[in-house]
Structure 1
Amino acid sequence: MVVGDVTTAVSTLVVGAGPGGYVAAIRAAQLGQSVTLVVDGPLGGICLNSGCIPLKALISASRRFRQLNDESLQTMGIQLARASFDWGQMQAWKTGVVERLSGGVAKLLAGHKIEIVHGLGWFLNEKELRVEGEYGSHRLAFEKCLLATGASPRELPELPFGENVLSAQQALALTELPTAINVVGDNYVALELATLFANLGVSTTLLAGGDKLLPEVDQAAVRLVQAGLRKLGIQVVTGAQALKMDGTELVYTAGGKEKRLAGTVVVSHGVKPNTGKLNLKEAGVKTGPDGELTVNAAQVTNQPDILAVGDVTGQTPLASVATKQAKVAAETMGGRKVAFAPQALPRVAHTTPELAYTGLTAEAATQAGYEVVTGRFPLAANGRGLTLGSESGVALVVAEKGSGLLLGMTLVGPQAGDLIMEASLGIEMGATLTDIAEILHPHPGLAEMTLESVESALGLAIHTL
């Protein structure tokens, strides 16, 4: 790379190295493109370094600690002395997981001969980007440019981030555990954060602004999750409106009354696309009301040589979405006719019990014009669930009446996030209830919940009345 204030011609330029950016860079290289990757921050982005992976790692560790002190072990005949934990060591283990994955990304990029430029990039015009970074300032003239700059935690006007109000990322980096924590939000991240801290014995309150948690999810499933939160000792307050911080106290209203809570506050209120520093006006790239980049199904913006993927587009902020869009964008830049058009978008909340869902709920399917048939099977009737000591869970399936076309599935219980892929695959392939029912499922196995719920929808349930 020639440095200084000179112009260097590059073929495919990718800005951002999160799950959208680095995947797009690798796929573009696999398709024969010469790729330059502009990185402002650690490889892997927020998801790998301070978001998804750290949160799941800490939840996993905290869940194991919680299980060691669970009364169910005594029922199984296991006697243990009271377990304890070291938060600093737990954080160190989490960091080790992150570093191993980040190092893997670096090796993959090197293996595909992707040139990395560390620095902040912004547009000079629709064909040039200036990068300010480790080698000073220089220009890159590109043929195609892909933006994958992600998004940042969104602040609440009443609760700006500061010493006593943290983002989810900041909460995961705490060096000391607070005695009390108040999580403001009703999305899956808020539920996971509350689960993490409650597992470790922190006095935890979850304040949701709406009248229900996860309003887009089948509420029969959410009720099981909410019961699990309460079993962990989490105080769940719905209809809560945060007003302000008064010193170290959170002031909020609920049920028409003003209340106060002491403790650290963590806000999980969605994300805001990172477009403010890109100088998009000079490139003629249009943005939406929240600063998001508007793209078509091929991930192209209004400028034909500038594409965008992931959270910066303002679409569903999931790493799985970003990585799929990245592959579509790379193929688009390679001249292929492709589109991002998923029929199923699986989502997971790593609560206790775990929740996963894909496709449409019965309510959403009805609103979309389908006449539906539903099926249900409880975890308490599943042999594998009982051998794991788990009874709180359910499988809920939604299909089109008559054709039996699979429309959606919701799972609550152990490994729900992995098991949901059977339904996602079925939806993508246009499978029917009968197609799923004809497949052999291992016994005893948690996957039998999917089978039994499907047979329930067919009116042929064996293990439930």
Structure 2
Amino acid sequence: MVVGDIATGTDVLVIGAGPAGYVAAIRAGQLDLDVTLVERDAYGGTCLNHGCIPSKALISATDIAHDAGHAEEMGIHADPAVDMTQLMTWKEGVVDQLTSGVEKLCKANGVSLMTGTARFADEHTARISHSGDGQGSESVEFEHAIVATGSSPIEIPNFSYEDEPVLDSRQALSLESVPDSLVVVGAGYIGMELAGVFAKLGTDVTVVEMLDGILPGYDDDLARPVKKRAEDLGIDFHFGRTATEWYEDGGGGIRVATEAAGQAVERPDETAADGGHAEAEGEDETEDPEATDDLELSAEKVLVAVGRSPVSDTLDLENAGIETDERGFIQTDDRARTNVEHVFAVGDVAGEPMLAHKGSKEGQVAAEVIAGEPAALDYQAMPAAVFTEPEIGTVGLTESEAEEQGFEPTVGQFPFRASGRALTTGHTDGFVRIVADGETGFVLGAQIVGPHASELVAELALAIEIGATVEDVAATVHTHPTLSESVMEAAENALGHAIHTLNR
């Protein structure tokens, strides 16, 4: 403790109030622990303030505008105008409602809230520095600590986020006007989601990706409909390329210089939480005819979306003996515990996949372990989603992964073009695929690309979690007409008796 500090004590110190941290704090409060939650920026973290929620708000709004303006086949003729100022005001209202709700829920569950930056002084003490003149600092002594400091956008050489034309995802979600043209560096989930938003707002969008396709880590048959839809929106792609620098063109815009990526162009086999701009070795399989030449692209803005890195370098972890890997992620066990027994790490700072719901689950488990509950993490039923058009939702094993683990999988698939409900919405791209164990029938995994895939995958995550069989899914009566019937039909297809598609 530093002389002159104010000193307080707590059972559980939670550092970071994002979806992992605030959930951990609330759950610990419910378990009658004395909890102190420290946040240096805004309650709700990146997800609620600058990521998941504002991006999905803009995706929903631009989908409405675009669908209304392209519904001539339905007899609807419209030319929607988007008021960017009003759109941003509405988006901020959504964010404010959720973040204020987080603060109220924490207080209602007895959580003490502190604003400031936490650093470990030793393995049982943290110093909290308060921003602002004369605010000073104080020490908090804790029995247990939960680190939930999240992640931040990766910055690549020669593209500083302090430069006005260069945007990270947070800045892109707060633009007050629509750029005429935009270069997106990175074709992972963040880059592809935002590319779609701006394309639907009328921006000329070009995507530069060092690998040989979009959405690294997702099977090509999942990524292909997304790429086709993006191209239909007018988005241009340059694969097998890296962005090297930018400069002003003298006419109010910029030029983004790119070069061939060399060997780092083959899509990796496993899902990359960093948005797909990580190094991957392989042969050059790019279809871009310009991949071996230098190429400059004109734009008004450039969005860099090459992934995120853990926020762990501000914590003075060494003072508490907490270890990280070479990338800065804090290593944990299946109870979210670090190498220091009474210190836990949850959310993005604890490693991939960087998913808000994964962090929330880790936060719950950490709080319950601290309270002496028999809790542990199990990631086999952890779903993931990409909010592109069409959406992608996945959970569990793919067919090839099941084979690698020694299963003899049975696979069922149902196309949305055969779904009555999908036809009534005008969105029929994609399919539902279920992977089951051929011997026992247990559901092992699912891959969905199509309308509302992010919602539909939850049923199959539940099936994996409770040990349901493909027969259980097929026998469950689904409301007609709904998109969820496609899940039932895929299960029936795996059994060889689907009604509305040909059986394999």
TM-score by shorter chain over 0.5 = yes
1:74 corresponds, among 49, 72, 85, to 72
Which residue type is aligned with residue 316 of structure 1?
A: P
The percent identity for this pair of structures is 40
Q: Secondary structure at the match of 2:116?
A: strand
Q: Distance in 1 between matches of 2:89 and 2:27?
A: 32
1:425 corresponds to which residue?
A: 462
Q: Mind listing any 5+ residue stretches in structure 2 that lack a counterpart?
A: 249-253, 260-289
2:65 corresponds to which residue?
A: 65
Asked whether the equivalents of residues 200 and 233 of structure 2 are also in contact (C-alpha less than 8 Å), the reply is yes
The 5 Å alignment of 1:25-424 reads 25-70=25-70, 73-80=71-78, 82-133=79-130, 135-161=135-161, 162-247=163-248, 248-253=254-259, 254-263=290-299, 264-424=301-461
User: How far off is 1:165 after superposition?
Assistant: 2.1
Q: Secondary structure at the match of 2:294?
A: strand
User: How far off is 1:129 after superposition?
Assistant: 0.6
* CA deviation profile, 1:30-56 (whole Å, cap 9, x unmatched): 000011111101100010001110100
Q: Secondary structure at the match of 1:373?
A: strand
Kindly report structure 1 stretches of 4+ aligned residues shifted beyond 4 Å.
Answer: none
Q: Distance in 2 between matches of 1:40 and 1:116?
A: 11
Q: Secondary structure at the match of 1:20?
A: helix
Alignment TM-score, normalising by the size of structure 1: 0.96
Q: Distance in 1 between matches of 2:184 and 2:213?
A: 15
Q: Distance in 1 between matches of 2:195 and 2:375?
A: 40
User: How far off is 1:151 after superposition?
Assistant: 0.9
Asked whether the equivalents of residues 158 and 242 of structure 1 are also in contact (C-alpha less than 8 Å), the reply is no
Alignment TM-score, normalising by the size of structure 2: 0.88
Instruction: Provide the alpha-carbon RMSD of the alignment.
Output: 1.5
Q: Secondary structure at the match of 1:344?
A: coil
Which residue type is aligned with residue 72 of structure 2?
A: Q
Asked whether the equivalents of residues 342 and 428 of structure 1 are also in contact (C-alpha less than 8 Å), the reply is no
User: How far off is 1:221 after superposition?
Assistant: 2.1
Q: Secondary structure at the match of 1:312?
A: helix
Change (3 A) 1:185 1:456: same
Q: Secondary structure at the match of 2:435?
A: strand
User: How far off is 1:352 after superposition?
Assistant: 1.4
2:274 corresponds to which residue?
A: none
* CA deviation profile, 1:231-289 (whole Å, cap 9, x unmatched): 11111222222222233211113521211111111111221111111111111111111
Q: Distance in 2 between matches of 1:48 and 1:221?
A: 27
* CA deviation profile, 1:175-205 (whole Å, cap 9, x unmatched): 2221111111122111101110011110011
1:15 corresponds to which residue?
A: 15
Q: Secondary structure at the match of 1:195?
A: helix
Which residue type is aligned with residue 74 of structure 1?
A: E
Q: Distance in 2 between matches of 1:237 and 1:404?
A: 43
Asked whether the equivalents of residues 4 and 136 of structure 1 are also in contact (C-alpha less than 8 Å), the reply is no
Q: Distance in 2 between matches of 1:366 and 1:216?
A: 18
Which residue type is aligned with residue 118 of structure 1?
A: T
Which residue type is aligned with residue 33 of structure 1?
A: L
